[in-house]
Structure 1
Amino acid sequence: MDELQQTINSLEVAGMVGRPHNDVMKDIRRIITQLAEGKSSQGSNLAEAKIGSGDYFIESTYKDANNQERPCFDCTKKGCELYSTRMTGAKGTQFAVAYIERFNQMEEHIKTEQPKSIGTDQATKRMNAEARLKNANARQAKLLSELARDARSDVNKVLLQDKAVEVLTGEKLLAMPALGCKFYSANEIAQEIGVYSKTGNPHETAVSQLIQKYISLEEYEFEFFPGSTDNWSSDVTKYAESVLEKVENWLVKNNYPTIIQGQSNKYHIVYGF
């Protein structure tokens, strides 16, 4: 097996990512089209950098169960890296682990097939050391992926996933979601939109009950943060800015009610605007 044969068929990629082969083919064709558009728009810059789809994906064919020839792609290591950037979260990390392990196996096979004349004791020791390091990195990445899966915080989950890929590759391959979103506590939301108790304090309980009972939240719209006072220590739920907008819209839609019906109690509120 020589250097040119170090590819993974798109059928194998489909199995790694758990998607139908047709969908993977569409993804690859879309990437190739984007590469071509980029080359056309940037001209000599990309040409000089020798960026082309053939460096990533090679058209090929295979025979299906009916012995009919079907199209597929042979994906180079660079192609797999490029494909992995389109995936985020646990699936992206799992694919990175799978394809890196696969290419490591092919590289080890190439090394074992080389003539014995170049397989000196020193080279063999170096290869064994590299293999042990790769295996150790793979085990560490697997542990980080498992920790990410069980992480309570989305922030910690993303950081652990990113670290798992970095351990395997030495660089951050996956495009992780931006974490710059501001989060608000129920008390802060009450202050922002002017929801107060009759005593003039921000009515965080009414806002919290309103959100729990009437607002549909996406997974990324709330986060748990450590919090404490003199009397207790516990996680505090905070909400993304989009939730603040949802609460405002609910109040407008319901003509700014003066009573919020919670899960079990009613809360009287006044507005500070």
Structure 2
Amino acid sequence: MDLKIITPEFSIESREVAKMVGKRHSNLVRDIDIYIEYLLNSELSSAKYFVESSYKDKSGKTNKCYLITKMGCEMIANKLTGQKGVVFTASYVDKFNKMERKIEKPKFEIPQTFSEALRLAADAIDENRRLKPAADYTYKILANKGLETVSVIAKNYGMSSIKFNKLLHDLGIQFKQGGVWYLYAKYQDKGYTHTEPFEYPDTNGNKKLNNTMKWTQKGQKFLYDFLKAKGILPIIEMKVTQ
């Protein structure tokens, strides 16, 4: 994969793109969410176009945004017509051409002293430690093709299943009915969960059936991205940020 596709140095932040196209940032983020959903359903990689990120506003609140690649800008430009489309296309092409020229310049400076070499090595180790937990957790999600119970996911966040379920309810993701958790309508039919029956004995020892909701690989990735945008990280990542 071309690293320029996913690095911040070779992308434009969605807030800047929103200004360029004269659109509210929240509306642009909503449109990108739809584009990504279409790409996921077609099994195409959305990372070639949009990479989810975040920023803090003046009040310190963490908000969702996207890093948009050149291909992502092309997708947005295709939705525009007339002068607005022409001006935006010219603007983002100019920006990416400047980025390419800047990236082509050598960034690495050979250390001149032993202490500089040690500092460079230490910085590289720190950066690797910073990035590795998030990569490991995402890999763990993607490597698990099966269904996962909420208790296992909750444990990754250092919570009980009761507390985690309540959190997802408070965030408007799920609701409880008849003792079973279900996703709200906006998250249904997206392949995030699977409800299956399980057998249990009642107080008299009679066999009973009830349903339980489990999370798919796609659903686990959704939870990770959703919670991360809210500043809620799995334990493995919290240890690094603390």
**In which range does the TM-score fall when normalised by the shorter chain?**
0.3 to 0.5
Q: What TM-score does the superposition give when structure 1 sets the normalisation length?
A: 0.36
- Point out which structure has higher relative CO (alpha carbons under 8 A, 6+ apart): 2
Larger Rg, first or second structure (1 or 2): 1
Q: What TM-score does the superposition give when structure 2 sets the normalisation length?
A: 0.40
